[in-house]
Amino acid sequence: MDTRGLGPEGLVSSTIALGTAAFTGVYGAVSTRDCIRVIDVALDSGISLLDTADFYADGDIERLLGASVGARRPRLLMSTHGGLRIGRDGSPSIVDGRPDYLVQACEASLRRLGTDYIDLYYLSRVDPRVPVEESVGRLAELVAAGKIRHLGLYQASPDDLRRATAVHPISVQAVDYSLRDRAVEKGILVTAAELGVGVVAYRPLAQGLLAGATPRSCSAKVRRALHILEAEAAGLDIGMARLALAWLARCRNVVPAPSSHNPAHLEMDASAAGIRLPADVCARLDGVFAP
């Protein structure tokens, strides 16, 4: 699989990454065996970036990754998140960007992942009660200590990204980005490109919508757009999901990170990295799925 550089400090990722939200069961029942098989398929397909979060299944997904990669650890990239907690009673997420908490969160992730360093560590959300400079400043200390190699921000605003990069280089900005959801193109993606920050696109298939899982609540306009996507994919004989991922991957600084608990689906997703879309197909999709 092709690779691409992300950010100013030499982080190099496969063109497609693996997200692990699906391992939590959020997209349907999943077994540990299926998750391990997906990880194996990802690595065999050339995917090098495995993305998780410390709050996924109360840390169990980090433990699963750590136990599964084994001797393959040196040739892959692990990314995880800190700064977002789930209430003990299952209440909504709590943003916590306090410097001391981030240190605790990083140390806990290192233990669960069974590693001495985390390749890419995200500030999960910018805490409105804590200046982003303070959060990133403490994470920069963990970089200096060798516990983190690269820093990222998750769903940060353009202003927060600028302020963060003034403290320490930011390698990746993670955004909710897909052919269906393009709002970030006129804001944070412009800023990321200006600052030389790479982009990881999570939910690149719009939670299955662009892979053919059309809910009844979809509007007529969305259904029409999906029919066109399906027709374009059929014309190229590549399937809707691969077309949607290839559309994202055409941008050299964007790495789509689809999440799946189905090994066959993940194998197909990974193959999107090798697809070069004709310009007329991209133009038609750009018009149908306007920002």
Active site residues: 56
Task: Give me the sign of the Cα torsion angle 32, 34, 37, 41.
Answer: negative
In whole angstroms, how far apart are CA 84 and each of 53, 58, 190?
9, 11, 26
Terminal-to-terminal C-alpha distance of the chain: 29
Phi, psi (degrees; rounded to nearest 5) at 286: -60, -40
56 alpha carbon, distance to own chain's centre:
14
The residues facing 95 across adjacent strands are 84
218 three-state secondary structure: coil
Locate 203 and state its tokens.
């939910």
- CA torsion 267→270→271→274, rounded to 10°? -170
